[in-house]
Chain A
């Protein structure tokens, strides 16, 4: 097993597992204390799902940043930059630009027309139980996909930093991570989880900023100087400063990147765990304020990532990064070790670990809210349910989802984190965004159109992933490594370029062929409520 030999060799060269472990434990303890002390009672649905709607715009904006900046961003994007250069930068811009859509089209109307979940918005407009069920299914699918991506990242990170190189040891750690995450959600609810996100985002930003300044100081505080050094250190030379190394290889990879870009720019506005956060503020203006804060947090973070990525290319080198466990994901930890030794490595790694935990807690609470509020209360009990009972179901669901995510994370250990997240964005943009936009802004939209769009987008996106090179056909990178199994008839790894337009088209087609007339009175109410907030759920501190 040469793989294991490389792993243990590499883990021997990176930090002291004992120091890393102590710093990890400190961060975990810190976040646990925060979650427990911020939790409060969490008995009502508004407390458990929406943190009592008592957060201010800037608090929630930082928390959304915390939810959004997952391990895929911190480790994944910097890793892609460290290996491929400019193409990683392209990736990060897609993750940022999509926020403008959330800000201008979604945040205020969404806050005004819903209560706890995305399905609430569709339900206010269409009043149809099947639509609620469909929206819940797509919410849970996207959350679970994202959750597994995070879990896979946790396994790689831990194996790198704690010196746990054997497979069984990694599985144990993924399980511990899952248990911690379930604990946050059960005890903290949305309030505790939000505070964990705020603290995590602050530490993450601080850690990224310190490391960035450190890298820049090595390059004489000159960005062009840093780029020059990075290009000189890379075997590809100046090509790393321009697009094409990862996505310019063939026509398929070019269209693959356009597909990914479409998923990133439209997917953010369909991510359920981001959308649900808009309910934790008292009104639509604070929701708008939140998203502006998020844009600053996310944008500044990705600017740091650019420096970190090129810094790792220069100071660590692509060869050593690719040899380490987790490949590109290990670029930032290796860079931290190079700059600040064991201590900085431990801190950066613990921040990354806290990031994974916090993002997973946010995803779990979203998926469990969707099941309890939409499926259990809305579909199975048709709204006739006691709030305490609903919260109890949400807690049980959180445990189930956490368990599924642990199993998925163990199965998907080998898959690249940033890549899986790109797929989750594609599913979110296909299944959620069209019906959301049509509900808010198209007077004719009907329940049939919503069902066609949600199921059409969901099935196409997931189906094309199954029949893509992600799953089979490319031994080495596909999930199924057997070269004889090949059912990849779809050439692209990201389905967005097909599934998003199709979902919009199906929403339109389902509506115009619907014999039932659109409900004009409901649209009137929706429109007034979306734009003015009259009748919206309010909340706030006393």
Chain B
């Protein structure tokens, strides 16, 4: 972080954000801005489908395991069956969603939050 005390240790809050915390209008202004509206929309547009996807994928797996063990027993090759492939798929999808969320957030969310924060703090400083 750029803003740390010279002596080191913790900075609980900067002067700029402290004044922002005091006034509700600072937050209202941010909230009314176009950038914040975009941020909210983008956040929702990734998070909601991604969560819906992984939760339904996981429960599909659980329900098949519980109510269709015969299907899960079907051999794919040798000792490896459908159930084991499904399980491996859960691991792969979890890693993939985590990594793609991180990449996406870096590209699509972080520049927006930086801009919003800088604008507010610059405004305070004047």
| B-binding residues in A (CB < 8 A) | 44, 46-47, 52-54, 86, 89-90, 93-94, 96-97, 99-101, 103-105, 223-225, 227-228, 231, 238-239, 241-244, 247-248, 254, 257-258, 261, 265, 282-283, 285, 288-289, 291-292, 295-296, 299, 302-303, 521, 524-525, 527-529, 531-542
Contacts and interface: CB of A to CB of B under 8 A. Distances in A.
B90 A243 contact: no
Given A224-B79, A289-B102, 5 more contacts: A104-B51, A291-B98, A527-B31, A528-B27, A531-B113
Contacts of A531: 36, 39-40, 43, 113
B1 A532 contact: no
B94 A542 contact: no
Contact of A243 (B30, B47, B83): B83
B62 A261 contact: yes
A374 to B, nearest CB: 18
Contacts of A86: 65, 72, 83-84, 87
A85 to B, nearest CB: 10
Contacts of B80: 223-224, 227
Contact of A228 (B11, B79, B90, B99): B79
B107 to A, nearest CB: 13
Contact of B69 (A101, A242, A291, A535): A242
B73 interface: yes
Question: Which range holds the interface residue count of chain B?
Answer: 35 or more
A105 B110 contact: no
Contacts, number: 188
- Interface class of chain B by DSSP: helix
A483 B95 CA distance: 47
B11 A96 contact: no
Q: Report which residue of A52, A100, A536 has the largest number of chain B beta carbons within 10 angstroms of its beta carbon.
A: A100
Contacts of A291: 98
A258 B69 CA distance: 14
Nearest to A239: B73
Nearest to B2: A540
A243 B74 CA distance: 11
B62 A258 contact: yes
Contacts of A47: 10
B30 A93 contact: no
Contact of B101 (A54, A103, A243): A103
Interface string B11-23: 1111001001100
22 contacts: A86-B83, A93-B58, A100-B50, A224-B79, A227-B80, A241-B81, A243-B66, A243-B72, A261-B58, A265-B55, A288-B102, A296-B98, A299-B94, A525-B27, A532-B30, A535-B17, A536-B17, A538-B11, A538-B13, A539-B11, A540-B4, A542-B4
Contacts of B54: 97, 100
